[in-house]
Structure 1
């Protein structure tokens, strides 16, 4: 089984059998984790065990899960394309995420954790009553369905070109896999699967970055090329709301927006509630913040290398790709297409971004 992709060099790059085996193997591991925890806890009927892992989880799996839930395939594909098309101002998002983590860990986390709830909607019920709880639950379901539609569609559209996989196959595969291992294994399966996905994301990004630097002749050369073409830019402190991306919009605006997700979104709250103590939950949040900074920075570094690689042949101008979501997959096939297995790891990396995003188990009403 092979899928072909023509690059700007005119050559045909293919995803071979090894790449598909690597991809299928990673999906199988995720399913196995769900089955393992389903068998392990089949005699345990405690709802807290299923919803918040019995509040018995350690810092490492919770922090990894918090980090990858914060991200999506849109981030992994979009940030490099942002640097390629504009500049590095969005790199300030890493600082905004740190502010979001600080607010969540020390303002919202203690309140929700000490109440002893298993769902953020329990808190809403306790404070405002059932009718408000139902209304908020309904709005969250609608918002999440809309968001997940984009999260699943955008990477599937980009990866269709790389893998030859039809859009509906990609979307159905991701949806069914997440539903299966989540419903079978509960929150423990979600946390450990997210941890595995975090490793895949890191390995995938590092593979692309390192091989990209080797191909170009070193990161220093890539940075110089990007700088000469006005892509290295950090000092836009404009307060004009019409500015596309300034320090204030990215750090303050982005920080507040992400703090809302990190603090009161059921997907995030349910994860830090799985920690054994409040202190461990706060430590897990800070560790996840470090991981977020690393992943966001890697995405931006990949964007710098991406621009340097295509500076003399912009794929969109030559109709090699139809939209910027396909930039990173095109880059991967250009630099990793001759190395069996590594494109498969990248495919797993992007799918991990979709699988981990907003995944959780809960009762909203």
Structure 2
């Protein structure tokens, strides 16, 4: 009789618990020590005093999701090395954004894209429409991001039911 390939051992529980405690500790520490943040800029943007490394790492980690972890290997398997062109286009578009758009928007000291829409078109309606479109886009993105691991877990559970009995 085959055993399930996924089993937690003592070291797994220790590591999982340490990560949870560390995450909670960081949150509690900043809840207590972070009370100096009075303005939106201080709270959301760290008063615009963070260096490039933590900002870029935060940006990259934000988009590391099930799409990246499950989808990209599957795409590479199905379509081979031609999928590399996707990465090349992302790198080129990122360079264009850094050289063209960031110097244009950074001096405006904006907190969000929606502030820019209101400032550019002088209309709160445009800002709210942009915010609604952004929320709908994020809802659809999150649906896909959550669906990937759900399918993977369902498959693993079905395999375990088939082979573990």
Please tell me the TM-score bracket, short chain as reference. Answer: 0.7 to 0.9
Distance 1:28 1:91 in 2: 39
TM-score calculated relative to the size of structure 1: 0.39
Give how far 1:20 is off. 4.1
Tell me how large the CA RMSD over aligned residues is. Answer: 2.5
Give how far 1:68 is off. 2.1
Partner residue of 1:40? 33
Q: Structure 1's 140 and 81: CA in aligned 2 closer, same or farther, altered over 3 A?
A: same
Q: Does 1:157 align with 2:151?
A: yes
Matches within 5 A, 1:85-234: 85-128=78-121, 129-159=123-153
Conserved 8 A contact 1:125-1:132:
yes
SS in structure 1 opposite 2:56?
A: helix
SS in structure 2 opposite 1:65?
A: helix
Q: Structure 1's 320 and 21: CA in aligned 2 closer, same or farther, altered over 3 A?
A: same
Give how far 1:84 is off. 2.6
SS in structure 2 opposite 1:15?
A: coil
Q: Structure 1's 58 and 159: CA in aligned 2 closer, same or farther, altered over 3 A?
A: farther
Partner residue of 2:6? 14
Question: Where do 4+ consecutive residues of structure 1 move more than 4 Å?
Answer: none
Distance 1:94 1:51 in 2: 30
Say which structure is richer in helix: 2
Matches within 5 A, 1:269-288: none
Q: Does 1:56 align with 2:44?
A: no
Partner residue of 2:61? 68
Distance 2:153 2:17 in 1: 15
Q: Does 1:25 align with 2:18?
A: yes
Distance 1:153 1:120 in 2: 28
Partner residue of 1:82? 75
**Which whole-Å deviations, capped at 9, do the CAs of 1:298-342 have from their partners, x for residues lacking one?**
xxxxxxxxxxxxxxxxxxxxx959xxxxxxxxxxxxxxxxxxxxx
Distance 1:123 1:159 in 2: 41
TM-score calculated relative to the size of structure 2: 0.81
Conserved 8 A contact 2:114-2:127:
yes
Give how far 1:108 is off. 1.3
Q: Structure 1's 31 and 88: CA in aligned 2 closer, same or farther, altered over 3 A?
A: farther
Give how far 1:161 is off. 5.5
Unaligned runs of 5+ residues in structure 1 are 1-5, 165-318, 322-365
Distance 2:18 2:155 in 1: 21
Partner residue of 1:259? none
Distance 1:159 1:79 in 2: 18
Conserved 8 A contact 2:70-2:148:
no
